[in-house]
Chains A and B, each alone.
Chain A
């Protein structure tokens, strides 16, 4: 007897339809074989499916069973195939109606006691189901809200027995709650940062213009503290963007079951020991990397110069194109990665440089090697470069700084202005820029960056034109000569 269930395998973020066929042959030797390019976790489904079915007090057919995952050429990965395999098997052994099963998509991992466990990528599976014009998806109950985002009707089940009861028409799908898209934890507030006016200003500019920001300075001056407060002054995401971000986080298995929609700019801060694959994505299972998880949000690389150089260089492509292409012999996979890059670094390997109270002990070669870690090409991607000096004791005694809320309002207003019309430079502003290019070591790309930042400054000042003072301030955020020239 043959039965089919439908699920979707993910290639990168793309769902591909997979038919799970179960065939039972009358035979004296009971066996279960899974064919169709299933990986290790998928092969192990045999044990989970057997225990799950028995725990649900259903009958496990004592004959020769073949499960085929079609198309056979597509690699199937992970444990999400447990539920469709179990359902197809039960349908093939006449324990549930086959026709009704074929109208549903399904995914989920089985526990040995028959309960269902969440898997990653339910949103993408749901989207696949919608495109395949399947109206309902049977999924673990915790993933209901996530599946609903895809525009399909989720049937949340907690146990394999529930899924069977539902397909037999004995049980209605339970209610579920959709979250509000707000972050669970309040973002860190800028009020915690005392002094550091210049750093705060740079952060505001970075937020308003979506500029990449490099914060330099001796250790303990608050570079990381500032950088971590960027998400708190970013505007919320638009609906389409929120879905994009949620899809990526869903595939990585990182969504909050109660509030699956990520309606705010994500923030990722990988450790500097991260491998290239961890940052740009890939690996045997083709998972999105940190750069993609930071899509539409912030990627903070703390201690930039400590990262492996290949990992840093790999970021140049997404910084340019807004997406990552992981190429494989079998084809390539695209992950969106339009993030804002924030880097922090000390001015020298020992960290004392720039600190009036300490002596730097780095040799010229050591210093040059440290700075060579950042290629000119990567350094060029930072629109704003600011050195954060050590705050004086006086500043630390001062009251709290401005809170994030008013800053965010200014950022939102500036973004609206920039979206409407780009402010143009006045003649005097143009002259200052030309003079600066002649006088300072400023490359063509450097000039373009200054022009871009000056537009953001004008927008924040609610000015319709870019005035000379806006260009002048933008010039103050260019890369310092000690980083620009070896």
Chain B
């Protein structure tokens, strides 16, 4: 375990108006990782399959471009962002609202383990401190503080993710929001941010551009499968529109899934990237 004192904190974090007095670190990642260009991906815990897919895709694409993904190890968007980064062997930092020796939530113990194997888990609280609701907003200021930009994927109104976005705005950092359906309560928070002037995010490249990082060429197999243009849709709808048997449609979709081009959530297939 490593402890950083205030003057050892990475520059961006030291610059916020209320930097933590200490930062406890766990994991095999290099401390210098905290000083690298980082982006926070935050959002709802009870997210939709769409939100989960977007968070994972952003985590993966940004980490692949060398950006460190910072999030809070919570259920939903947070964990998907971490997992996306781990998928491409990128780096990801989990900021906890409890001691770094506590795996919270317990369901993410194995995720925390894989993060610790190659990256870092950090907290301003001493080991042994229990998670408590009032510690999470304070934790959010560290998430925003470590990062050059904060991305809100899906958030309800009065969501913790909006607190993170507020901290980022106060410190003059970039805030991105993923546009959502205007009728969905799950998108209300992200859409409200957009109305207030946050930058709409439509692809990982938007973030990379604002950070001045050249985006990597897409190495996924280029495909002109006609089904891709009909997404999002259910398998039944695609079968009806194309006149193919539903077995053939799902077979094609599964191949695209293996290629990382589509994903299914709640019976609806969506395009990734």
Interface residues of A (CB under 8 A from B): 195-198, 200-201, 216-217, 347, 353-354, 359-360, 362-364, 367-368, 386-389, 391-392, 395, 432, 435-436, 439-440, 457, 468-470, 472-477, 480-482, 486
Is A457 touching B247 in the complex (CB atoms < 8 A)? yes
Verify B46–A362 contact, CB threshold 8 A: yes
With beta carbons under 8 angstroms apart, the residue of A195, A216, A354, A367 that contacts B236 is: A195
B44, B234, B258, B267: the one contacting A439 at CB < 8 Å is: B258
Given contacts A395-B240, A435-B258, 17 further A-B contacts (CB under 8 A): A198-B235, A201-B250, A353-B266, A364-B46, A389-B236, A389-B267, A439-B260, A457-B247, A469-B248, A470-B251, A472-B254, A472-B258, A473-B247, A473-B254, A475-B254, A476-B235, A476-B264
Chain A residues with Cβ below 8 Å from B257 are: 440, 475-476
- Closest chain A residue to B235, Cβ basis: A198
Which residues from 237 to 265 on chain B have a C-beta closer than 8 Å to any C-beta of chain A? 237, 239-240, 246-248, 250-255, 257-260, 264-265
The answer to whether the Cβ of B49 comes within 8 Å of any Cβ in the partner chain is: yes
Cβ–Cβ < 8 Å partners of A440 in chain B: 257-258
Q: How far is the CA of A154 from the CA of B257 in the complex (A)?
A: 63
Q: Which among B45, B184, B186, B246 has the highest number of chain A CB atoms within 10 Å?
A: B246
Please give, as numbers and ranges, the residues of chain A lying within 8 Å of B62 by CB-CB distance: none
Chain B residues whose CB sits within 8 angstroms of the CB of A481 once the complex forms: 52
CB within 8 Å for A387 and B253 given contacts A363-B46, A436-B258, A473-B247: no
CB distance from A42 to the nearest CB of B (A): 53
What's the Cα separation between A197 and B246 when bound, in Å? 6
Is residue B129 within 8 Å, beta carbon to beta carbon, of the partner chain? no
Give min CB distance, B268 to chain A, whole Å: 7
Interface residues on B, range: 35 or more
Q: Number of A-B pairs whose CB atoms are under 8 Å? A: 104
| A482 adjacent to B251 (CB under 8 Å) | no
Q: Which residues of A contact B252 (CB under 8 A)?
A: 472
Question: Which among A388, A432, A468, A469 is the interface contact of B267 at CB below 8 angstroms?
Answer: A388
Question: Would you call B21 an interface residue if the criterion is a C-beta within 8 Å of the partner chain's C-beta atoms?
Answer: no
How many angstroms between the C-alpha atoms of A69 and B237 in the bound complex? 68
Residues of chain B with a CB closer than 8 A to A477's CB: 250
CB-defined A-B contacts under 8 Å, sample of 26: A195-B236, A197-B239, A201-B246, A354-B268, A360-B186, A364-B46, A364-B74, A386-B267, A387-B264, A389-B234, A432-B258, A435-B258, A457-B247, A468-B255, A472-B250, A472-B254, A473-B248, A473-B254, A475-B257, A476-B235, A476-B250, A476-B257, A477-B250, A480-B266, A482-B49, A486-B75
Question: A196: nearest residue on chain B (CB-CB)?
Answer: B236
Most chain B CB atoms below 10 A, which of A386, A387, A435, A476: A476
Give the nearest-CB partner of A460 in chain B. B247
User: Are A368 and B107 closer than 8 Å at their CB atoms?
Assistant: yes
- Bound Cα distance from A418 to B192, whole angstroms: 57
**B84 at interface (Cβ–Cβ under 8 A)?**
no
Q: Which residues on A sit within 8 Å (CB–CB) of B246?
A: 197-198, 200-201
Residue of B nearest to A395 (CB): B236
